[in-house]
Chains A and B, each alone.
Chain A
Amino acid sequence: RKEVEQDPGPFNVPEGATVAFNCTYSNSASQSFFWYRQDCRKEPKLLMSVYSSGNEDGRFTAQLNRASQYISLLIRDSKLSDSATYLCVVNMNTGFQKLVFGTGTRLLVSP
């Protein structure tokens, strides 16, 4: 089993739609979780950290489910500019900050 797994997509949605991605992780001791966004041929950029209580930043909501070992990202009112690959990132809590990156979920928002 991969340490971090994501559906590669692509998810094709129209502008204004709501879309959700899930990501599962293998290490139940993981302590910190992040969503990054990566545009084509660009560097990954931090979108948001994921807290135990869930957190929201504008149109983006991140949730953590420790019991089932997954995190989710919800995007409301999708914009064309949301088209990108979304990377799920998990700190494996190995005593050193080892971040494990998922391979990403590609989102395409169309007019």
Chain B
Amino acid sequence: DAGITQSPRHKVTETGTPVTLRCHQTENHRYMYWYRQDPGHGLRLIHYSYGVKDTDKGEVSDGYSVSRSKTEDFLLTLESATSSQTSVYFCAIGTGTNQPQHFGDGTRLSIL
């Protein structure tokens, strides 16, 4: 399995609180991604990174920010969590265009 670790694995928090999810990889892959998965929807891209300090928005980026200060770490932050952000969050890594991505175990986030 690809060396991807997400933390925490589960989190319950309250509306309005800040939340940070961490993705750590040991594969030295250039590309890293954050997705959310909700019933009735496919995985949807939140943000992605194509290098250290190089990030861009995906299709559902509102309310989220990211940072990548090291190749191995990609952080996803919910500045002020809302109930609509209750979801399962997956981090993925990839080597480039036309190559598949490999996923971490996911983080189950509940916003009450």
A interface residues (Cβ-Cβ under 8 A, vs B): 4, 31-32, 34, 42-46, 49, 87, 89, 91, 96-104
Contact = CB atoms under 8 A, between A and B. Distances in A.
A97 B96 contact: yes
Dominant secondary structure at the A interface = strand
Contact of B98 (A31, A45, A46): A31
A31 B96 CA distance: 13
Nearest to A44: B103
Interface of B: 31, 40-45, 48, 50, 56, 90, 94, 96-106
B42 A102 contact: yes
Contacts of A44: 43, 90, 103
Contacts of A31: 98
A10 to B, nearest CB: 15
